[in-house]
Structure 1
Amino acid sequence: MKYAALTGISPSVIAELKTGKARTLELKSAHNIITLTEAAPGECIFITSISEEDLSPGDPGIMADLLVLNIGMKRVVDFVNPFFYEEREQMSARIKVQFRGTTIASGVDGHKWGDPTKVEIIRSACYRAG
């Protein structure tokens, strides 16, 4: 089975998720947002600190339950002085995830721009009680 893969996530965020508490993350990278467009709450996702370009079979990561998913657009206005301002829109995804277990990617799909990143995983023989 293939799982959505979030790549380039900070190792400190992954370490905090491993404590078992559900956490909310805000993702702004285009490749992760594209991947999340094909995910839904209740599914399991793969999270790794490895960048999307470098992700390959054998890379470590964690599995997490996707509890909440919101993808939206934010309007940002920057004022430089009273006569000049810049307005832009920024897409972001807010997700709430909870640690399920550690794992290793065994197959990787989606290295082409615009394709969601998906991985096959090697299931763990040991599970976390909780």
Structure 2
Amino acid sequence: MKYAALTGISPSVIAELKSGKPRTLELNSAHNIITLTGTAPGDCIFMTSITEEDLSPGDPGIMVDLLALDISMRRVEVVNPVFYEERERMSARIKVRFRGVTIARDVEGRKWGEPTRVEIVTPACYRAG
């Protein structure tokens, strides 16, 4: 089975998730937001500190349960004495809970605009919650 993969996540965030408490994360990377557009609360997601370009079979990561998902656009206004500029920034806020440690078996979706998905080595047991 293929799972959505969030890449480039800070090792300290992954270590904190392993404590088992649900955490809310804000993601700004375009490739991670694109990947999240194909997910819904209740899905299981693969997370790793490896960057999307370097992710390959055998790389370690964790499985998390997606508890909440909110993808939104925010306006950022820049005011200068000469001009007024308005920018938009998309971000995704997710609430996740640690499920288990795993390894990527197969990786797909390396083209721009495609969600990153991985097949994983199925763990023998998950963390009791």
* TM-score, length-scaled by structure 2: 0.96
- Report the identity percentage: 76
- 1:100 corresponds in structure 2 to 99
**What is the deviation of 1:86?**
2.0
User: 1:44-82: per-residue Cα shift (whole Å, max 9, x none)?
Assistant: 00000000000000000000000001111000012234x
- 2:75 corresponds in structure 1 to 75
- 1:109 corresponds in structure 2 to 108
- SS of 1:115's equivalent? coil
- 2:39 corresponds in structure 1 to 39
Q: Aligned pair count?
A: 129
Q: Give the Cα–Cα distance (whole angstroms) in 2 for the partners of residues 89 and 127 of structure 1.
A: 40
Q: Give the Cα–Cα distance (whole angstroms) in 2 for the partners of residues 127 and 68 of structure 1.
A: 21
Written as runs of structure 1 = structure 2, the 5 A alignment for 1:44-59 is 44-59=44-59
Q: Give the Cα–Cα distance (whole angstroms) in 1 for the partners of residues 102 and 49 of structure 2.
A: 13
The unaligned stretches of length 5 or more in structure 2 are none
* TM-score, length-scaled by structure 1: 0.95
Larger displacement relative to structure 2 (117-126 or 83-92): 83-92
The unaligned stretches of length 5 or more in structure 1 are none
Computed over aligned residues only, the root mean square deviation of the Cα atoms, in angstroms, reads: 1.0
- 1:90 corresponds in structure 2 to 89
User: Following superposition, which runs of at least 4 residues in structure 1 exceed 4 angstroms of deviation?
Assistant: none
**What is the deviation of 1:121?**
0.3
User: 1:91-130: per-residue Cα shift (whole Å, max 9, x none)?
Assistant: 1111000000000000000011111000000011233223
